[in-house]
């Protein structure tokens, strides 16, 4: 199933126009495999639709409903915008009943498994204008940011959705410069030796 866009949303990028580290990848790496959709669980599809469609601005573009005896599944897709080739990318949710879920199951993907709420999250690329538009909608709805942080290369605004999932609106300022060699080198370093510390922690080191 495709996650479709109205024609007015489509971009005009082609594979030959890709730049940066993506264009420099060897044939070992996928050259055109953007996200189709990422899916989470929800207990309240109405609250989820309000959050993503009316506050985040992602239209609901597809719903599937399946009945399996006394069990059922509802699968909903919200359009987050086009990939580089113009195809839609979506965030999706499952609402379900008696499909194998365990008693006391939870929809959040961090606190429910014993992690800080900010660890597992979904980040959306945004402009500064889009970030402020969503902030205004959230404020009007009585929803305050979970966090806001300047990472140096991007400015991030974070909210918790009705399912306890943290979403990030990420504005590149101007973004990071891809450096695969350094990225691989840092996989093997001791974080306490080479890790970058915030100023208050650097003073204590």
Q: Which domain holds residue 99?
A: 1-105
Picking from 105, 122, 138, the residue at the C-terminal end of a domain is 105
- Residue range 74-86, pLDDT digits in tens: 999 999 998 666 7
> In this predicted model, which residue has the larger pLDDT, 167 or 10?
167
CA–CA gap between residue 99 and residue 163 (Å, rounded) = 19
Task: Classify the C-alpha dihedral 48-137-146-143 as positive or negative.
Answer: negative
User: Domain check: are 59 and 116 in the same one?
Assistant: no
The answer to whether residues 80 and 62 touch, using CB atoms and an 8 Å cutoff, is no
Cα–Cα separations (whole angstroms), residue 62 to 34, 36, 110, 148: 19, 13, 27, 31
140, part of any domain: yes
User: Global pTM?
Assistant: 0.81
Q: What is the pLDDT of residue 33?
A: 80
193, part of any domain: no
The answer to whether residues 163 and 186 touch, using CB atoms and an 8 Å cutoff, is no
User: Domain check: are 98 and 130 in the same one?
Assistant: no
204, part of any domain: no
Domain with residue 140: its CATH number is: 3.10.180.10
- Residue range 149-183, pLDDT digits in tens: 999 999 999 999 999 999 999 999 999 999 999 99
The answer to whether residues 5 and 86 touch, using CB atoms and an 8 Å cutoff, is yes
Number of domains observed in the structure of the chain: 2
Q: What is the pLDDT of residue 26?
A: 58
Long-range contacts of 107-113 (CB under 8 A, 24+ apart): 107/40, 107/41, 107/42, 107/43, 107/163, 107/164, 107/165, 108/163, 108/164, 108/165, 109/40, 109/164, 109/165, 110/164, 110/166, 111/164, 112/164
Domain with residue 22: its CATH number is: 3.10.180
Picking from 105, 123, 147, the residue at the C-terminal end of a domain is 105
202, part of any domain: no
Q: What is the pLDDT of residue 32?
A: 73
């Amino acid at each position: 199933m495709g996650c479709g866009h109205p024609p007015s949303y489509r971009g005009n990028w082609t594979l030959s126009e890709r730049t940066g580290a993506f264009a420099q990848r060897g044939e070992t790496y996928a050259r055109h495999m953007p996200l189709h959709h990422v899916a989470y669980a929800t207990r309240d599809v109405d609250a989820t639709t309000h959050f993503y469609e009316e506050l985040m601005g992602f239209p609901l573009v597809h719903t599937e409903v399946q009945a399996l005896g006394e069990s059922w599944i509802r699968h909903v897709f919200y359009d987050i915008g086009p990939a580089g080739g113009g195809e839609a990318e979506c965030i999706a949710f499952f609402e379900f009943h008696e499909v194998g879920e365990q008693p006391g199951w939870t929809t959040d993907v961090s606190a429910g498994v014993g992690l800080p709420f900010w660890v597992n999250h979904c980040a959306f690329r945004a402009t500064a204008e889009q970030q402020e538009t969503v902030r205004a909608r959230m404020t009007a709805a009585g929803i305050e940011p979970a966090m806001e942080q300047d990472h140096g290369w991007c400015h991030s605004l974070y909210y918790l959705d009705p399912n306890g999932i943290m979403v990030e609106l990420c504005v590149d300022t101007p973004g990071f410069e891809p450096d695969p060699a350094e990225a691989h080198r840092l996989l093997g370093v001791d974080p306490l030796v080479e890790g970058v510390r915030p100023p208050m922690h650097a003073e204590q080191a």
